[in-house]
Structure 1
């Protein structure tokens, strides 16, 4: 995809809301309540400020969607989602009364994961006969299978992350702080079209043994292995890629560990196919690392879904038997982390195709030497 994609239409959002309501009925729910956050953006295109004032989308099977919104925010909501029915409430009034009238006083409802406890407890107090379940539990694949337009956006975000990696490997590493390189990464992501930078992990030497190390003031030295993991949003969809580079020539063990992780990442990718279980991807990657004697040093799941957020279902982890279907997108990112010494991680975003998988990150997975 080149240029800026066409925006999603009102018809796109209406179809998503119908799909969510139908999925709720299939799951035995009486409806879905969606607070501000990624689910609301995906369903309606509306991105309100998250405050103590209640905003919630109510989706019920066989009924028109309704957005409960503070009166002072109603104009913005109407502009962002002009076909959506609004029920507004004013300061000093009980927002849970307005919402309760839409829930008929009882039933079992799915609730978006990032709903504030303040609001959920308010609804429970107002409507003691209602019950609630997290959407990740009740409808884990609500956003999990992407359509062609979403896949185009994810591919564009992946290409921008790849371009960032190709440029960052050209900059000096030795003698600079991790935060300096992280700032370069963030600037490159924005240069290549990201509107939002979510994370820029630069983990050098022993810091690389911490998978979620925040870039700090450590000065990168010659002889360091450096884990690079970065991503954000472009056209509203996420990127997330990891590569591990070495400052100067690596020793034999560093090369060997990197090769093991590269082979594990390849094995995980090759396990991607329709009908395979999510856990099969994890098992394939983990088996390579375990057989090489480093199993105890692979300390996280092999992958996570990605879309309008960088972490969402499905998850590639033992025990997750959800079958892969075309359109799912997720990371494949095995790693080895040797405490006090170094770490290695290699990550691509992969989408399930009709006959296997396709990488959305295509930069070299070989160990790259940087200055």
Structure 2
């Protein structure tokens, strides 16, 4: 076990004690990745990492055991298809000292059949998800995580600039996406996604990039991300061809002011919903509230979307080290959409933007 992993287990157990949680159960997921640096293939065979007050152990399918052993020295309780997982699970539960656990923290991504092993074995235990334990820790990034996220943000800046240079009338959205993907690959950060929404397609926030040809006067939403060193990037910028559509400059200015308002509101101690309200208030006051159809942001770490979520209903108290997007938008059906997105890390004096690329529109 690496020193980093040992430190994470220690912090997790401190938090478990504070929250009176005596057993954490993780399935193969980003939670497991964050804690131990890998996860076995997720399939229908139960695979669990059980974490008690002093010890931890895996319930491991035999088919995954050999490959997983190369990744960790944590104890394995291996089961095979001809016997089934129950015996190994009960042995692991005993190994970590939780056969009488009073409060289980469940990985919220866990398959229900995995969870049933715990529910059947500990029917009287209190149950919660990991919001106040492991997720609580994941939201607060350390400097190693910050460095990886910053590196990815700057790679995404360069991929965006490659897209800007390539834009020309007559090319398709898919052709532009391929150029973005090629740049990410050139920096050993494979593209994870790219939304290229041109003209009226930009009014769909999650448009599926397609074969529409870019034309003079288009506004183009470019929402892209890659991944290297186990961490992702995510950035949205705008481009126009020629003069752009009527009313573009006014709408871009409103969205930019919404970003600035959210950045100002993003300080330690603020509620996530206060940041959403700051951005949404600017857009609503300008008369476009009904066209801002999604949350203001999402957390980012090893997961592209993870807590904290910057929504109108979130009471999450923002704290130093939290990393999240600020991405308000206005989407005018049949015309165009505008979204501006930056990833920020919260410092003592406010939000630090990871990107170095201005939010001004690129004109092709």
TM-score between both structures, scaled by the size of structure 2: 0.93
Rounded Cα–Cα distance in structure 2 between residues aligned with 1:167 and 1:135 = 40
Q: Answer yes or no: is 1:74 the counterpart of 2:68.
A: no
Whether the aligned pair in 1 keeps the contact of 2:12 and 2:133 (CA below 8 Å) is no
- Of residues 30, 33, 48 in structure 1, which corresponds to 2:25? 33
Q: Check whether the contact 1:163–1:192 (CA below 8 A) recurs between aligned residues.
A: no
Query: Whole-Å Cα distance in 2 between the matches of residues 193 and 36 of structure 1?
Result: 25
| Worse overlay, 138-147 or 242-251 | 138-147
Match of 2:137 in 1: 142
Counterpart CA distance in 2 for 1:211 and 1:289 is 16
Residues 297-328 of structure 1 show CA distances to partners (whole Å, capped at 9, x for unaligned) of: 11111111000011000011123222221111
Distance 1:316 1:129 in 2: 34
Superposition map of 1:203-218 within 5 A: 203-218=197-212
Are 1:357 and 2:348 counterparts?
A: no
Contact 2:130 2:136 survives alignment (8 Å):
no
Partner of 1:184: 179
Answering whether residue 292 of structure 2 is matched by residue 298 of structure 1, we say yes
Give the Cα separation in 2 of the matches to 1:325 and 1:289. Answer: 26
Q: Separation in 1 of the partners of 2:100 and 2:44?
A: 23
Write the distance in 2 (CA, Å) between the matches of 1:36 and 1:174: 45
Gapped runs of 5+ residues in structure 1?
Answer: 1-8
Q: Deviations over 1:141-175 (max 9, x none)?
A: 23100001000000001010011111110003421
Residue 108 (structure 1) shift: 2.7
Please state if 1:50 is matched with 2:47: no
Change (3 A) 1:135 1:309: same
The gaps in structure 2 that reach 5 residues or longer are: none
Taking only aligned residues, the RMSD between alpha carbons, in angstroms, comes to: 1.8
Q: 1:95 to 1:254 in 2, by over 3 A?
A: same
1:18 aligns with 2:1: no
How big is each residue's C-alpha offset from its partner over 1:1-39, in whole Å with a ceiling of 9 and x where there is no partner?
xxxxxxxx7111121122223323322322111111111
Distance 1:322 1:127 in 2: 30
1:238 counterpart residue number? 232
Among 88, 91, 96, the alignment partner of 2:86 is: 96
Cα distance in 1 between the residues matched to 2:102 and 2:169: 60
Q: Measure the CA separation in 2 of the matches of 1:276 and 1:129.
A: 37
Q: Secondary structure at the match of 1:315?
A: strand
Alignment pair present for 1:174 and 2:164 = no
After TM superposition, the structure 1 stretch with the greater mean CA deviation from structure 2, 179-188 or 159-168, is 179-188
1:152-163 correspondence runs (5 A): 152-163=147-158
1:366 aligned partner? 360
The change in CA–CA distance for 1:11 and 1:184 in structure 2 (over 3 A counts) is same
Moved more, 325-334 or 219-228: 219-228
Q: 1:14 to 1:72 in 2, by over 3 A?
A: same
C-alpha distance in structure 1 between counterparts of 2:278 and 2:188, whole Å: 34
SS of residue matched to 1:80: coil
User: Which stretches of structure 1, 4 residues or more, deviate above 6 A after TM superposition?
Assistant: none
Q: Which residue of 2 aligns with 1:5?
A: none
Counterpart Cα distance in 1 of 2:314 and 2:255 = 22
